[in-house]
């Protein structure tokens, strides 16, 4: 595997003395992916996983698969918006491949700036995208995620304050206060980007931030994607316990935040523990079974598919490179 191979029609570039970093990074990411995948699968008890799938209805599994597909489809919009902001024209099939594989890998390995950025560079560099542009793209896509997460968290905390307070064992006023603070933070950011050209500057690297209307588009897209991802787990939970989706959404986002803060690959263990605590009024075995299926459907299967697609993409690229 290698980054940035020359393709027909692309200008030849002088080989840098650091050319070996690309192949080394790709091998490291692929190797780490296989190790983490083996670790995750080995932690699952086959009997528990079989029971979880046996207890889930075909309707639940079908809905979970559908919402997973919708979530990853919406994730491709993150890259599409970022590319548009950067003024880069890339075919959607390339954008979709880069987005799906980068998120599938980074969701499982963690450290998305490194892992997701590396996979993106692998896909985009043959199209002439520079490493600095991939870094900018990754930051803008990450901003889309956080804006959407914040918008949904604000809405769910304010809308379902009493139900969330019951889950969190606190008062509705505290829940509404947190939701209001999140909302004020988002509003402040919107006002900030609406009143002038804004940019991030880090050690000489300058990234112009999207304006108001693109930011609102980011927020809407991110909110829809987070809602679709949460729906994957929600439809797998047992029914009949009066758990409303907006209430569950707040618990899901909080579990995601704890998982991200832990730096565990895919929030493994931390995310599940948080959900089990938040939903302790539901049957433990059923919630645990839903979490097992969620881990398989939303993380492991897309991760395996991403590795296959990356390998196929590299094989096709090498075959085309050696065609007469």
Examine residue 16 and state whether it is found in any structural domain, yes or no.
no
Residue 44: per-residue pLDDT: 58
Examine residue 170 and state whether it is found in any structural domain, yes or no.
yes
Q: 46-65: per-residue pLDDT in tens?
A: 666 677 777 888 999 999 99
Segment-wise mean pLDDT, segments of 10 residues, the chain, 324 residues: 40 45 54 56 64 84 96 94 88 93 86 82 87 86 90 90 84 92 94 84 76 89 95 90 88 86 70 84 85 90 91 83 66
Domain count, the chain: 1
Among residues 57, 56, 70, 102, the alpha carbon closest in space to that of 227 is found at 70
Q: Tell me the DSSP string of 74-128.
A: HHHHHHHHHHHHTT----HHHHHHHHHHHHHHHHHH--HHHHHHHHHHHHHGGGT
Range of the domain at 39: 22-321
Q: Which two tokens stand for residue 258?
A: 């704890």
d(CA 52, CA 227): 23
Examine residue 12 and state whether it is found in any structural domain, yes or no.
no
Residue 37: per-residue pLDDT: 52
Q: 174-209: per-residue pLDDT in tens?
A: 999 999 999 999 999 999 989 877 877 766 677 788
pTM of the model: 0.81
- Strands of 250-307 (E only): list them: none
d(CA 136, CA 67): 29
The label of the residue with tokens 């509003």 reads 187
Examine residue 285 and state whether it is found in any structural domain, yes or no.
yes
Examine residue 250 and state whether it is found in any structural domain, yes or no.
yes
DSSP 8-state secondary structure symbol assigned to residue 298:
I
Dihedral angle over CA of 142, 228, 118, 261, nearest 10: 60
Examine residue 32 and state whether it is found in any structural domain, yes or no.
yes
Examine residue 106 and state whether it is found in any structural domain, yes or no.
yes
Mean pLDDT of the chain: 81
Examine residue 144 and state whether it is found in any structural domain, yes or no.
yes
């Amino acid at each position: 595997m290698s980054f940035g191979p020359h393709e027909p029609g692309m200008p030849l570039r002088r080989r840098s003395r650091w050319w070996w970093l690309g192949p080394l990074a790709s091998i490291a990411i692929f190797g780490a992916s296989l190790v983490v995948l083996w670790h995750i699968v080995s932690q699952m008890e086959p009997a528990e996983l079989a029971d979880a799938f046996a207890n889930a209805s075909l309707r639940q599994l079908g809905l979970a698969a559908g919402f997973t597909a919708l979530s990853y489809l919406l994730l491709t919009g993150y890259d599409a918006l970022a590319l548009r902001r950067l003024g880069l024209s890339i075919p959607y099939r390339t954008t979709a491949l880069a987005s799906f594989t980068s998120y599938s890998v980074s969701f499982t390995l963690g450290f998305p700036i490194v892992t997701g950025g590396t996979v993106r560079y692998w896909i985009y560099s043959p199209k002439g995208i520079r490493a600095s542009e991939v870094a900018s793209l990754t930051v803008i896509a990450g901003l889309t995620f956080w804006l959407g997460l914040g918008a949904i968290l604000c809405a769910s905390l304010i809308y379902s304050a009493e139900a969330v307070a019951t889950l969190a064992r606190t008062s509705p006023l505290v829940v509404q206060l947190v939701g209001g603070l999140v909302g004020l933070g988002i509003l402040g950011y919107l006002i900030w980007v609406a009143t002038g050209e804004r940019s991030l500057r880090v050690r000489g690297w300058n990234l112009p931030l999207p304006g108001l209307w693109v930011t609102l588009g980011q927020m809407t897209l991110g909110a829809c994607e987070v809602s679709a991802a949460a729906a994957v787990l929600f439809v797998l939970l047992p029914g009949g316990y009066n758990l409303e989706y907006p209430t569950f959404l707040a618990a899901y986002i909080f579990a995601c935040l704890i998982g991200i803060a832990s730096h565990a690959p895919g929030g493994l263990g931390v995310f599940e523990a948080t959900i089990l605590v938040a939903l302790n009024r539901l049957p433990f075995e059923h919630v645990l079974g839903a979490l097992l299926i969620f881990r398989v459907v939303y993380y492991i299967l897309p991760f395996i598919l991403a590795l296959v697609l990356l390998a196929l993409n590299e094989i096709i690229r090498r075959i085309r490179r050696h065609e007469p």
